[in-house]
Amino acid sequence: MAGARTRRQAAAEQQEAAAHAGNGEAQVTPRGADAVPESTENVFLFWPNIIGYWRIVLAIGALWYMPLHPRTCSALYSVSCLLDALDGYAARYLNQSTKFGAVLDMVTDRCTTACLLVFLSSAFPRWAILFQGLISLDFASHYVHMYATLAMGGSDTSHKNVDKSRSKILNLYYTNKTVLFVCCALNEAFFIALYLLSFSSPLLSPNLLKTVPNHAVEAIHRGAEVNSSLLSHIFTNPYSAGALELARANKMDSFWPWVFAGISFPIMALKQIINVIQLVKASRWLAEGDIKSRRERGIGLKKTA
């Protein structure tokens, strides 16, 4: 009996070995162990990323109300910005920090700020070139910094891991969560305040001193004749510029927007300086990599006699 049992065991082991060899596996799994399929995680449904999607929804709502409803727009935009801090906390607390989440967060920040600055460019045409410059600086600074981090630091390096030897200011900005939150929050607060002032301050918008005739008010309230095109059914009021003037004629109180603008202006200016530093440092880092790569390939070296 013992000999028969031994032969059966040997035959079973040979069959297992042959089966694993046919599958290209080098190790033999223990007999009797159930095969457990590898579990997969859906990164797109991580809670920090879900918060990021809600940020986008709120930002779209803010953009929808931006031309006509400054209070509603400001509330939606502010909540979207504040959720930026919540998704980072959720990522750390739930151990769900992902590269996709980092990119989603950065892209949402850049796009929402750019959209607000585009509106400010139309509200204050004289200063449009300044707002356009801020948009360009914001995008260029973060893109070059992100690219330099990936190219020079490796794909596993976060753009927030800035060594002190490279930049003490950027190290403090990215590693100190309080500094990062205050800079980003007050930077957005300044532009929101400026947006509200475009509806309330005759000093910045002299046309607010003009009164809107009653017949014009009634015409805007009734709405204009709607064309038969598809866009006219989606955007039922084609005279958004006139509606904007009517909304401005509501004479919002400009006191608190001026207060918020005055408090947040220094931090906004500091944020732009940090963007410049980030752009310069990242560009130099890329240039260092280019020089190193050229030397390794023997390009650009001075020939010695």
Q: What is the CATH number of the domain that holds 124?
A: 1.20.120
Q: Are 82 and 184 in contact (CB under 8 A)?
A: no
pLDDT surpassing 90 at residue 26? no
Please give the residue range of the domain that contains residue 266: 43-211+249-278
* In-domain check, residue 296: no
* In-domain check, residue 37: no
Question: What's the domain count of the chain?
Answer: 1
| CA dist 266 → 61, 82, 91, 182, 190 (Å) | 29, 20, 30, 12, 9
Distance CA(172)–CA(163), nearest Å, equals 10
pLDDT surpassing 70 at residue 117? yes
Q: Are 62 and 91 in contact (CB under 8 A)?
A: no
Per residue in 140-153, pLDDT tens? 999 999 999 999 98
* In-domain check, residue 169: yes
* In-domain check, residue 32: no
Structure tokens at 72: 């509603």
pLDDT surpassing 90 at residue 32? no
* In-domain check, residue 288: no
pLDDT surpassing 90 at residue 222? no
Among 117, 100, 116, which Cα is nearest to 53's? 100
- Percent of the chain beyond pLDDT 90? 57
Question: What pLDDT sits at residue 69?
Answer: 87
Distance CA(162)–CA(72), nearest Å, equals 38
Q: How confident is the model at residue 209 (pLDDT cuts 50, 70, 90)?
A: low
Give me the mean pLDDT over the 166-175 stretch.
93
- Which candidate in 84, 87, 109, 138 is catalytic? 109
Structure tokens at 20: 């694993």
Distance CA(93)–CA(251), nearest Å, equals 45
Give me the mean pLDDT over the 170-180 stretch.
94
Per residue in 224-270, pLDDT tens? 444 444 444 444 444 444 455 555 555 578 899 999 999 999 999 99
Q: Are 172 and 179 in contact (CB under 8 A)?
A: yes
Q: What is the pTM of this model?
A: 0.75
Q: Would you call 290 a catalytic residue per the annotation?
A: no
Least confident of 44-53, 187-196, 243-252: 243-252
Quote the mean pLDDT of the chain: 81
pLDDT surpassing 90 at residue 101? yes
* In-domain check, residue 303: no
* In-domain check, residue 244: no
Q: How confident is the model at residue 21 (pLDDT cuts 50, 70, 90)?
A: very low
* In-domain check, residue 4: no
